[in-house]
Amino acid sequence: MAVLRLSKPPALPAHVSYSLYRDWLLYNFYDHVCSYCIVQHESLQVEHWEPIAYAPERERDPSNFLLACPRCNRGKSDYHPAYVGRRTRKHEKHGFEVIDVRKDDLACMFDLLNSGELRPKPGTQYERALWNALLLKLDVAFVTTKRAECLRVLKVCEGLVSQGGQKAEALLKVLIPVCAKQHLLFRVFDVQVSDALQFKLNEFIATHRPAIVT
């Protein structure tokens, strides 16, 4: 299962703003990775999984927090993740549950193609995956291009690790941090990473993000 386990949230006093949990979330989502599209963004917002409108008592509950890019946050809006009554398209009878990286195995729902495109996997979750892709616009061109770029960096790093040599090592020094920042994408979608590269990535993550369970 490629679900994501978050580290223990900081113990903050009850009266502080929930935005103070942002650093903890950024740490867990490896520097600006959106929990819905799993792509890096400059500005991420603390997202209430269960909207405050439905559950005001969970406004400061860390287990209700995720990080979302403005685009995904707008897509999900105040939609209750477990409420399936809302339709997004005219011909639909009902909606589906919104994906959650903490409990849904996205690799079972989507195929990540080399082009960066996500394709819903045939099976029981097919319609839900398709519905989520449309709700959160996971298929939009600039996000697809970004995913393709991450896979390109991974492929190049794999090549450099197996080739070895002084120049390859120098280039890896620049590219490993980029690859490590996207390791969530590879983990979540079960992208195969060789043992040698995984070792290098773990080494980097252990130095920079020791508390993250990899």
User: Long-range contact list for 73-82, CB < 8 A, 24+ apart?
Assistant: 73/45, 73/47, 75/36, 75/135, 75/136, 75/137, 76/36, 76/47, 76/135, 76/136, 78/51, 78/53, 78/54, 79/51, 79/135, 80/50, 80/51, 80/54, 81/49, 81/50, 82/50
Closest CA to 73 of 101, 111, 47, 51: 47
Q: Does 130 bind another protein (CB under 8 A)?
A: yes
Binder of another protein out of 143, 180, 193, 212 (CB under 8 A): 143
Q: Does 121 bind another protein (CB under 8 A)?
A: no
Torsion of CA 193, 150, 19, 85, to 10 degrees: -90
Residue 142 — φ and ψ, nearest 5°? Answer: -70, -25
- Residue 77's alpha-carbon distances to 51, 70, 102, 195, in angstroms, are 8, 10, 19, 40
Part in contact with another protein (CB under 8 A); list of ranges 6-14, 126-134, 184-192, 195-203: 126-134
Closer of 43 and 210 to another protein (Cβ): 43
Binder of another protein out of 71, 76, 200, 209 (CB under 8 A): 71
Q: Does 94 bind another protein (CB under 8 A)?
A: no
Binder of another protein out of 3, 12, 32, 79 (CB under 8 A): 32
Q: Does 119 bind another protein (CB under 8 A)?
A: yes
Q: Does 142 bind another protein (CB under 8 A)?
A: yes
Binder of another protein out of 12, 55, 153, 191 (CB under 8 A): 153
Q: Does 100 bind another protein (CB under 8 A)?
A: no
Kindly list the residues in this chain that would bind another protein in the complex (CB under 8 A): 32, 37, 39-43, 69-71, 74, 88-89, 119-120, 130, 133-134, 137, 139-143, 146, 149, 152-153, 155-157, 159-160, 163, 167-168, 171, 174-175, 178
